[in-house]
Amino acid sequence: MANVKPKNKRLLEEFQAKLVLLKGKKISQQEILDKCIEFSEHHLKEFVNEKIDTPKLTPERKERIISNSIEVPIYYTDKTDDEIIYGI
């Protein structure tokens, strides 16, 4: 498995410091990350809505896709997709 490195190490350190103030004990960064994942997993819907961007098919995008159709000659129209790609 690839190593996972947090992009914002400083934010993690600040978060760790805040937890020390709140709870009076130091929690390791690994444990914080593990607990954050666990928490997010339990609040998956809110996490996805807040933090994960997914492409949406808006009416504008739909119109753009249709109006930007490509009109050029297509060769080898007697062949299927698999024949073109794999020769099968």
Partner 1 sequence: MGIILDSGFLFALKFKQDNRHSLSLKIFNETEWEKYEPIITTNLVVEEVYTLVNVWTKSDLNSLEKIEQLFWGNENFFEIMELNAQEFQEIGKFLMKYSNKNRNLSFTDASLIYLAFKFEYFTIISFDSHFDGIITRISN
Residue type for 41, please?
E
Provide the angle, in degrees to the nearest 10, between the axes of the packed helices 29-42 and 9-23.
90
User: Scanning residues 20 to 59, which ones bind partner 1 (CB under 8 A)?
Assistant: 54-57
- Contact between 26 and 17 under an 8 Å Cβ cutoff? The reply is no
DSSP state of 25: S
Q: Based on CB atoms, which residue is closest to partner 1, 22 or 66?
A: 66
- Kindly indicate which of the ranges 6-14, 28-36, 38-46, 72-80 contains the residues binding partner 1, using the contact rule CB under 8 A: 72-80
- Kindly indicate which of the ranges 5-13, 15-23, 29-37, 73-81 contains the residues binding partner 1, using the contact rule CB under 8 A: 73-81
